[in-house]
Amino acid sequence: MDRRNKILNESIWKLMLTLSPPGILGMAMVALNSLIDAFFVSHLISSYAFAGVSLTLPLSTVNSALTSMLSSGASVLYSRSIGSENEGLKPRLFKHLLLLVSVSSFILALLGTFFAEHFLQFLGAQGKSLEYGSSFYKLSVIGYITSMLGLCTSGLIRAEGNISYAMKITGIAVVLNILLNPVLIKYTHLGIQGSALATILSMAVYSALNIRYFLKEKGLMPKLGRSTLDLHFAVEILRTGLPSFFMQINGFIRQFVLFRLVAMSSVGLPALATFSAIYRLFSFAALPVLGILQAYAPIIGINWGAGQTERVKKAIGVFRLGACLLMTCMALPGLLFPETMLETLVSPDKLLPNGALSFRLVLLILPILPLASTSIVFLQATGHSNTASRLTLGREFLLFLPILLLSVKLWNYQGIYYGLLLENAVYILIVYTVALRTMKRAFQGHLSTS
């Protein structure tokens, strides 16, 4: 039975249990890869180099947001085409994705090459950290096409349900980056640029292996020349992926505001240490749900494309239940032993006395977090990207900022945690309600046209 037939006919529970673990492991490897550059730069060069590389992270958010938009937009359309057996869409989609990646990466490379110092100075870089950061970023942006192309084509592989293959290719790139970093930094005397070059080379191999999959195993090469470019189709890819773009940008806004509020509090260094530990532990605990969504998205998209609305309904229920149970398990250690968890990252004398309470407040939202994420993916996968975009775009300005600022005004530093709990709960309720109403209309419309 091929992957399409499995996704259309096998038990939803079985699909979730077989497709989710590779997705979770793949996300863990991506998270590990993001730490590799910083680790080697810090240990093999200097703390100034580490600071310079760290200051490029906000700039890389733009690349991540564009990549996420292109990857999710193309992947959703690809899943639907598999479900509807629209073979003509595949080479057309691949050709437009290559064009969009090339144009986007070229623009980012130009901006980064000519304005790297200005961007980093705006973020507070100066002296040696500015010098190291600029050198690292200028070379990194030149290689953005390799990372964008690799991640977007990997998204297409996952969109057809071949998550295990995508994970293996990701593993090859991560191992290669680990091996190349110390060699290029220390033994070829490239220093900070060696770290950037290691990432570029590993992502180039990543891209090449993914492209080989489509050109050789999927036989797209002879079909690419026959497909024509269409501006409206390119816009459809961007429009479908726009919610993912907004979520990435929102993440940057959220990090900036939260760390600024913590830094401005009167509690000082213990507040920053406590919040940083809580933020990192929460992010790690929430990571597995992203792996589950990698399995969830193609199942929704392919079944929707095939007109199997009842199976889509069942998949939503099964994946929501599975994801909520997993998030409950991830939250339990922190809820039961908050001090022990926090002290793995920060020494007890640097933690605030109410750090355990703050950690528990943040973790309370984790078990129901998948209700929002699965809803957003459903809206994207079924052609309701405009609704998903409005929800993700409006979140930061209509909910996050007002609630956080009011909470901090009422409860000072502790208000950050009360505000995060309240804002997440309200957002989940709104997204769940909107998605539920949209589902009812979408299922009725799908049935009437079938």
Say if residue 226's pLDDT is above 60: no
Does the reported pTM lie above 0.75?
A: yes
Q: Does pLDDT of 274 surpass 70?
A: yes
Q: Which residue has the higher pLDDT, 227 or 363?
A: 363
pLDDT of residue 222: 47
pLDDT in tens, 361-414: 999 999 999 999 999 999 998 889 899 999 998 998 999 999 999 999 999 999
Query: What's the whole-number mean pLDDT along residues 427-448?
Result: 86
Query: What are the angstrom distances between the C-alpha of 299 and each of 86, 392, 430, 441?
Result: 16, 23, 24, 20
**How large a percentage of the chain has pLDDT more than 70?**
93
Query: Among the residues of 143-268, which ranges form H helices?
Result: 144-159, 163-182, 192-212, 221-224, 231-264
pLDDT for residue 219 is more than 60:
no
How high is the pLDDT of residue 70?
94
User: Minimal CA–CA distance to 155: which of 144, 143, 165, 145?
Assistant: 165
Q: What integer best gives the mean pLDDT of the chain?
A: 87
pLDDT confidence band for 225 (50 / 70 / 90): low
Q: What is the pLDDT confidence band of residue 224, given thresholds at 50, 70 and 90?
A: low
3-state class of 228 per DSSP?
Answer: coil
Hunting for tokens 């309200």 — which residue is that?
426
d(CA 43, CA 60): 22
Confidence band (pLDDT; 50, 70, 90) for 320?
A: very high
pLDDT of residue 287: 85
- Report pLDDT for 90: 80
* Tens-digit pLDDT profile for residues 147-202: 999 999 999 999 988 888 898 998 999 899 989 999 998 888 888 899 889 999 99
Q: Which residues contact 162 (CB under 8 A, 6 or more apart)?
A: 3
pLDDT confidence band for 100 (50 / 70 / 90) = very high
pLDDT tens track for 3-22: 889 999 999 999 999 999 98
C-beta of residue 133 within 8 angstroms of C-beta of residue 124: no
List b or e across 39-63, with b for residues whose CB sees 16 or more CB atoms inside 10 angstroms: ebbeebbbebbbbbbbbbeebbbbb
Q: Rounded mean pLDDT of 327-343?
A: 94
pLDDT at 106: 94
Q: State the pLDDT confidence band at 227, using cuts at 50, 70 and 90.
A: low
Per-residue pLDDT at 448: 55
> What confidence tier does 334 reach under pLDDT thresholds 50, 70, 90?
very high
Cβ neighbours of residue 42 closer than 8 Å, sequence gap 6 or more: 49, 50
